[in-house]
Amino acid sequence: MHSPLHSIEHVAIDSSGDLGSLYNEYFDSIVQTPSRSSPRETIQIEDPVKCDLIDGSREKSQNLLALIGMRENARLNTLLNFVPRNRLTSIINHPYPIDKYTRLIYYCYTNRNEKLPRDAAAFRKLSQQKDRHTGATHIITSFSLGIGVILIIQLLPNDQIVAQVDKVLRKCVRILKGTHKPTAITSNDENLMQQNTSIVVYSNMSYLTGVTSLRDVCQFINRRDESTEIFRPLAYNLNPIQLFYPEYAQTGLPCIPVESSCNRKIEEYLLQYLDTLKRLKQSLDSKETQVLSVNLEEPFYELQRRWLNLKNLYEHDVQLLKDLVNDIRHGRSDTSRVDEIISNKKIQTIYDNKVKSIVDDLHNLEHKQQWIADLIKRKFQYYNVGKFGVLQTDSELTIKEKLNLNDSYNRILCSTDHLNKNNAEKFNRLHHDLVEHNRKNPASHLTYADFSYCSFPLKDITILSSQDQPEGQKESKERGNSSSTCDTIDILLLGETGVGKSTFINAFANYLIFETLDEAETSQPVVLMPVSFMITTGDHFEEHIVKFGDSDDSSNEDFSHAGQSVTQRCKSYTFQMGDTHQRKLRIIDTPGFGDTRGIEQDDMNMQHILEYINNLTHLNAICFLLKPNSARLHISFQSYLTQLFSLLDPNALNNIIFCFTSARSTFYTPGDTAPLIKTVLSSLSIGNVPFSKKNVFCFDSESFRYLVARQNKIRFDNNEKEEYEMSWKTSASESKRLIEYIRKDITVYRIDNNLQSLKHAQFTILGMVRPILETIRNSLRNLILCSKDSVNARLELDPKVISHPSTNCMLCVPYACLVGQFWVAKTIPHEIQNNHCICECSPDQHTPIHYMLNHKVVKNSSKTDRDSVNHLLVRLCRACAQFSHFLRHSTDLSSHDPFFVGLIQLITEETHLCNNYKPNDLNTKLVADLRMQQKEYDKHSDEMERKGTQKSLADIYDLINTVREYPMMREQLVAINEGQRKLMKLYECEVSRTPRKYVDISGDSS
């Protein structure tokens, strides 16, 4: 323990200190600064420059704080967050470890020393009234001012380049020492550095942090003596306060210093922990820029998530130790408890295992990536099944649909890492067979479907393939797509939960294809979706559960979850009608209304339906499926209709049709439901909804159920059979009439052509919130880069489409990546399954996202045009306010301002980055600029509110179209569109008339 009466020299952690400032040694903080400047003597320095080039391989200790000359106690205070990490001390946050490809340049220039006059009594007279309760232990009696810089230069691991870079760096040191001119760094040198190194600067001078080029550092330092005002404190000389104010001796020491051995123990422990974290982060970040994120995004994000978790454990340890050290300093605890924390074997093992598993898994992923590259070389496509929305409960048929096995020449090898490892022999054989097959049939496609990252329990390595069709009949995908608008009849099917939509869809398809029950029985019925249901037969009403299609019950709506619709997303079913025109019919199944979970669930379902419709090109019919003879009509029916027509315009009223199931009992009429519907329709303000024999169709699904039951070998008597035959005929003819009506009597309702409605505008604007805000943020970044003369680079947005249902969690801490000089928060997409997310945050904290945003540094680009960027920002900010005003006053989103919420979210995110990652000068500036934007936005909003003028819908559409075309906006909007399209595709099922056979060509399946 050192005597408190010794004077000490101290690196200036807090650069706000001045002569006469009071200092608390234990917390390394300035507790009071004199209100007026003290008298001082200035001493010039003999040998003012110190400069060193340090090879990272020599810097084993990773103790960067010791490197900049901080004393033990100060280092501990920094590590334990007793003092904020500023300027030079923020070097402890350098994200990566120092290794053999790291160089450090330490430069220190002392311009002058300043000290208090020797006469202490005279000084005392000057500064009266010291507060004795500040906890001060020392007074700054002299200090040095100048420039302190550490450059951390990370090289690419290429020994040839390392030698060249080292040469430039040695030159740089000579310039800094003053023996060479700054011009000694040529533009070749500069290019070499730009391309092969990344430089991070830590300094007590704010100008220097954020600079990325060696030449700029050298030039700044060369001009250092132009003004003596710029220099900041480098080191303080502290003298015990009792020497000036003896009365302090009586108040006693405020703190008990922690023993040096204990200090060192804690430091060693934390540095080691930190080093592991940094090494892990370095591997993760370098892999991210490589290929890992192409095919193996999900498992890779999982690793990043685990790294964040590990870092939280570290922060937790820091907090524990901080509290403990604080207790020791106040005499409330002793040093023995330090060992309890840092030598806790149990926690240590957990921690080590976590680290090891991340390292191992990363290693495995790299192997896997290599393995995938080999597969691709052998003409396989790689599918990560997890991305195709395959669920644990999916049937084989559904999986085939989701993997899009429409291509008749496809061979899909399904397996997991685990299966491949345990049965390498089988994998090799199947793999070999496929490669052979492909060699003989070059037109075939090979796919490897990787089930390793999805919840579906694949039991064995298998090959799926579709039955080969003769060349002529093979449908090209392009044709399928282009025909979708003209040849495909799209029917949107809406119905109350429990009305039997699934059964109806299957039945309807079969009624269209088979005119009679006999025909259906002797052919193969079409299975649009597997269903199972209960059927009663005979005089004793025996109950039977019958299955239709490849169903394992669990996903069944009509049977196992009566009243609680499992269908939570719109799904579409397409099949070829059996008519001469060879047209296709697409039935869009929607979440049922009247959900037992209540009105809120209904509203959420409707919201989803509207979003889905919004992405369609057209609709031929909007079909309400109802039951005849209802005593009452579900309240949601009215609400669904009204909401639907807030999106669609009145032209679509003519496309409404009504279908009734189980209408045999009412002799194929709507029965008592008809007057109820008429009452509801006449009360609506949306316009005249037709309801007459023409657009009302009555079916009976019973004859279809009968068909299924027969196939399940259930016996019926002849009377029953006759009745069902009649019923089939009626339903089949109603089906034909329905299609004829759609074809001849109503016109196709186009959605993609200039649909303008309040709801549509609302969706479009909501879809633009994230793109606009990201454009604002990135424009601000580029302005900041541009204001740094030294930086000749800008950031570009690189949106990446997500093709499976993903959300962004508002509460989870994002993973941070250093892009150029900016820390960028990277969203790790979360997938919500069964209303639950692995992050444990509530589902309503999650918002759907359709693209990930990557950021690219574009170096040596043409200089950003400040004026045009500023102009863009002004226009975007105004547009946000206008959109928000519109949403508030013209739609049902009155209380929610997505732009304001989004801006605050950005500020929170950036503030978090500033608090946790260094260097953060540019991010700090970004926070300030975002706050300015927010003020600007508030100003516009208030102004619009005051004026109270409402924009017309046409004006809003004009604005939407203008904003869409702004730079950076288009790419993001395209990504959203594509993401939505891919998502729809996931829930699209196309069934060919001849049911496909899935051939296992491996030959060993029995």
Q: Which is nearer to Zn ion, 79 or 310 (CB)?
A: 310
CB of residue 289 to Zn ion, shortest distance in Å = 25
Q: Which is nearer to Zn ion, 816 or 944 (CB)?
A: 816
- Strand segments, DSSP code E, in 72-172 are 102-115, 138-155
Stretch that binds Zn ion, among 827-835, 862-870, 944-952, 966-974 (CB under 5 A): 827-835
> What does DSSP assign to residue 917?
S
CB of residue 845 to Zn ion, shortest distance in Å = 6
Question: Distance between CA 75 and CA 84 in Å, rounded?
Answer: 12
CB of residue 832 to Zn ion, shortest distance in Å = 7
Are 806 and 849 spatial neighbours (Cβ–Cβ below 8 Å)? Answer: yes
- Please name which of 944, 906, 941, 942 lies closest in space to residue 927, comparing C-alpha atoms: 906
Distance of CA 35 to CAs 20, 23, 127, 812, Å? 10, 15, 9, 44
Are 573 and 491 spatial neighbours (Cβ–Cβ below 8 Å)? Answer: no
CB of residue 805 to Zn ion, shortest distance in Å = 12
CB of residue 446 to Zn ion, shortest distance in Å = 35
Q: Which is nearer to Zn ion, 238 or 809 (CB)?
A: 809
CB of residue 815 to Zn ion, shortest distance in Å = 13
The torsion region of residue 846 among left (phi > 0), alpha (psi -120 to 50) and beta comes to: beta
Stretch that binds Zn ion, among 69-77, 261-269, 349-357, 826-834 (CB under 5 A): 826-834
Q: Which is nearer to Zn ion, 303 or 837 (CB)?
A: 837
Q: Which is nearer to Zn ion, 226 or 840 (CB)?
A: 840
Q: Which of residues 907-926 bind Zn ion (CB under 5 A)?
A: none
Q: Which of residues 207-246 bind Zn ion (CB under 5 A)?
A: none
CB of residue 809 to Zn ion, shortest distance in Å = 3
Question: Distance between CA 695 and CA 546 in Å, rounded?
Answer: 33
Q: Which is nearer to Zn ion, 215 or 830 (CB)?
A: 830
Written as one string, the DSSP assignment of 721-780 is HHHHHHHHHHHHHHHHHHHHIIIIIS--EESTTT---HHHHHHHHHHHHHHHHHHHHHHH
Are 769 and 354 spatial neighbours (Cβ–Cβ below 8 Å)? Answer: no
CB of residue 310 to Zn ion, shortest distance in Å = 17
Q: Which is nearer to Zn ion, 411 or 846 (CB)?
A: 846
What kind and span of H or E run contains 413? strand 410-415
Name the pairing type of β-strands 49-55 and 41-44: unpaired
830 to 859: interface string for Zn ion, x by CB under 5 A = x------x-x-x------------------
Question: Distance between CA 180 and CA 174 in Å, rounded?
Answer: 6
Q: Which residues contact 222 (CB under 8 A, 6 or more apart)?
A: 175, 182
Question: Distance between CA 659 and CA 883 in Å, rounded?
Answer: 40
Question: Distance between CA 1006 and CA 1000 in Å, rounded?
Answer: 10
Q: Which is nearer to Zn ion, 180 or 305 (CB)?
A: 305
- By CB under 5 A, residue 986 contacts Zn ion: no
CB of residue 453 to Zn ion, shortest distance in Å = 17
CB of residue 837 to Zn ion, shortest distance in Å = 3
Q: Which of residues 781-820 bind Zn ion (CB under 5 A)?
A: 809, 811-812
Map residue 891 onto helix, strand or coil: coil
CB of residue 839 to Zn ion, shortest distance in Å = 3
482 to 501: interface string for Zn ion, x by CB under 5 A = --------------------
CB of residue 840 to Zn ion, shortest distance in Å = 7
Structure tokens at 978: 């594509």
Question: Distance between CA 378 and CA 381 in Å, rounded?
Answer: 9
63 to 92: interface string for Zn ion, x by CB under 5 A = ------------------------------
15 to 34: interface string for Zn ion, x by CB under 5 A = --------------------
Angle at 760 between CA 495 and CA 755, to 5 degrees: 95
Q: Which is nearer to Zn ion, 34 or 814 (CB)?
A: 814
Q: Which is nearer to Zn ion, 595 or 909 (CB)?
A: 909
Q: Which is nearer to Zn ion, 759 or 830 (CB)?
A: 830
Q: Is the dihedral of CA 799, 612, 995, 472 positive or negative?
A: negative
Please tell me the count of residues contacting Zn ion according to CB under 5 A: 7
Q: Which is nearer to Zn ion, 5 or 811 (CB)?
A: 811
Q: Which is nearer to Zn ion, 431 or 830 (CB)?
A: 830
Distance of CA 341 to CAs 26, 94, 230, Å? 22, 25, 44
CB of residue 983 to Zn ion, shortest distance in Å = 18
Angle at 894 between CA 888 and CA 899, to 5 degrees: 60
State the residues that interact with Zn ion by CB under 5 A: 809, 811-812, 830, 837, 839, 841
